[in-house]
Chain A
Amino acid sequence: MSIPADAPDGCTALDAARAGDLAAFDCLMRQYERLVLVTALRLTGSLPDAQDISQDVFLKLYRNLPKLDPACLSSWLYRVTVNACHDRRRRRRPEDPVDFAEQLPAAAADPQQTLAAAERRRVLALSLRMLPEKERAALVLRDLEGLSTQETAHILGCTEATVRSQVSKARVKVKDFVERYFRRRT
């Protein structure tokens, strides 16, 4: 998987949104809302923070519509989202507790499955929480969002070698954490 292709109907919506059509901008947001909100949720670990960041990102998108290249929209959104998450983390005082993501399931399912899914989400949130900021961003984009090393490097503004190194370190830490977590439970 790579950066989602910016579809032709996205271009039409983009053109209309550039002309000030809010309904078209709403369509554009629907197209990219998952990308922005879920990335922000993984990076901050907090749903309210992720929603605030998504709001800021989309407002920034609206302001920058005239000068944005439609082909680079997803990449631009990833970069702005990652930077907004870093900024928020820096502004947050260390003693402020972070309410770690307890995202709600989209639909009520079988209780056994719901429980398993809740546990998976807990493991994901905890393993991302223990990673340093840069390693977390690299892992989220490369392994969870499925971007290529080149795309991840472009978004994070670093070299591919740096991304490989950060992802490698992050994988070792997460693997160790997940295995310990499940060993302790059995």
Chain B
Amino acid sequence: MTPNPDWQEILRAAHNDPLDPAHYTAVRARVLAELERAHNPWRRLAWISGAGALAAALLLAIALQHRPTLPPLPEVAAAIPAAPAAPAVRERPIQTAVARPAPRRHRQPLTIKLQTSDPNIVIYWIAD
């Protein structure tokens, strides 16, 4: 550096020093990434919904894995006996005659004897 330089020349030279192209590239990449993101909202939505579905599937898988398992049911040792064979029924010819009303049988009335605490009192309840 000269001891008494032209200050304007120095500043202009410094100002015109080229910047590293990587700095420009970084800015352009950031801008384009931002614009791409804004241009494709559906893609972002698809990503979000896909991630949501994946998370839901994972949660479901975890929940199924951690479900308490019941012990197996004990086997029943006793065997159920076979039902007895039905007795043979002899078929009767069907009667076409008009069924008469069954004769009314005389039945004994139902009598219930109720004893009270007083031995002298006994209640009889006769139900027909």
Contacts and interface: CB of A to CB of B under 8 A. Distances in A.
B13 interface: yes
B7 interface: yes
Interface stretch (A25-33, A88-96, A148-156): A25-33
A58 B27 contact: yes
Nearest to A51: B27
B32 A178 contact: no
A103 B19 contact: yes
A120 B17 contact: yes
A106 B7 contact: no
B20 A37 contact: no
Contact of B24 (A34, A171, A175, A183): A34
Interface of A: 20, 22, 25-26, 29-30, 33-34, 37-38, 41-42, 47, 51, 54-55, 58-59, 62, 103-107, 116-117, 119-121, 123-124, 127, 143-145, 171, 174-175, 178-179, 182-183, 185-186
30 contacts: A25-B32, A26-B28, A34-B19, A37-B27, A51-B27, A55-B27, A55-B30, A55-B34, A58-B28, A59-B31, A59-B34, A103-B19, A103-B23, A104-B19, A104-B20, A106-B21, A116-B1, A120-B10, A120-B13, A120-B17, A124-B15, A127-B11, A143-B8, A143-B12, A145-B15, A175-B7, A178-B5, A178-B10, A182-B1, A182-B5
Interface of B: 1-5, 7-8, 10-15, 17-21, 23-24, 26-28, 30-32, 34-36, 39
